[in-house]
């Protein structure tokens, strides 16, 4: 499981002309599920997102997590995060999970983060989405549940 995490001042997702999710200050997470991901990957990702210290404290040091900063999390399913672009010019998506499997694990990650006390909003799974955000910093972090990078 991989995630591109952005610290934002605000973010929203529109799909089919309607708002799917909206947050103020917090984390915008583009989540990609790999075909071999299981429950330990879900637990790792949820815990990491909940406790990732990317918000400033009183001294402007990155010492606070999303909950401590009073922020929220907007999770957008994005199979393209699993892209392999090492060869050629067209990315390959062979490691991405099937839509059915990805939807289940995506939901589990969202539920697990919420279970850790953080408000979670969701994108529109499997739909073409318009994601709007105002990045803060910018602070952008890459996460991988298998710690490949």
113-138 as b/e, with b when 16 or more CB fall inside 10 Å?
bbebebbbbbbbbeeebebebeebee
Domain count, the chain: 1
CATH of residue 78:
3.50.80.10
Domain contains 11:
yes
Q: What range defines the domain where residue 71 resides? A: 2-144
For residues 73 and 118, the answer to whether their CB atoms sit within 8 Å is yes
CB 60 within 8 A of CB 17: no
User: In this structure, is residue 149 part of a structural domain?
Assistant: no
Helical (H) or strand (E) element with 50: helix 39-51
Structure tokens at 148: 């490949």
Residue 24 within any structural domain of the chain: yes
> In this predicted structure, what is the pLDDT of residue 148?
85
In a domain, 96, yes or no: yes
Contact yes or no for 21/122 (Cβ under 8 A)? yes
- Mean pLDDT estimate for the chain: 97
pLDDT in 10s for each residue of the chain, 149 residues: 999 999 999 999 999 999 999 999 999 999 999 999 999 999 999 999 999 999 999 999 999 999 999 999 999 999 999 999 999 999 999 999 999 999 999 999 999 999 999 999 999 999 999 999 999 999 999 999 998 87
The pTM assigned to this predicted structure is 0.96
Query: For residue 64, with 0-12 CB atoms within 10 Å meaning exposed, 13-18 middle and 19 or more buried, which class applies?
Result: middle
**What is the structure's pLDDT at 149?**
77
**Domain-embedded: residue 118:** yes
Element (H, E) at 27: strand 26-32
């Amino acid at each position: 499981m991989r995630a591109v995490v952005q610290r934002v001042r605000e973010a929203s997702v529109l799909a089919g002309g309607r708002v799917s999710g909206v947050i103020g200050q917090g984390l915008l997470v583009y989540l990609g599920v790999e075909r071999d991901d299981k429950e330990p990957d879900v637990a790792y990702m949820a815990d990491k997102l909940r406790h990732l210290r990317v918000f400033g404290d009183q001294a402007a040091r990155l010492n606070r997590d999303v909950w401590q900063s009073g922020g929220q999390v907007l999770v957008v399913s994005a199979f393209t995060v699993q892209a392999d672009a090492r060869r050629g010019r067209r990315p390959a998506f062979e490691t991405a999970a099937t839509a059915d499997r990805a939807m289940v694990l995506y939901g589990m990650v969202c539920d697990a983060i919420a279970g850790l006390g953080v408000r979670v909003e969701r994108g529109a799974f499997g739909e073409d989405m318009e994601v709007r955000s105002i990045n803060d910093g910018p602070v952008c972090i890459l996460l991988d549940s298998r710690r490949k990078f």
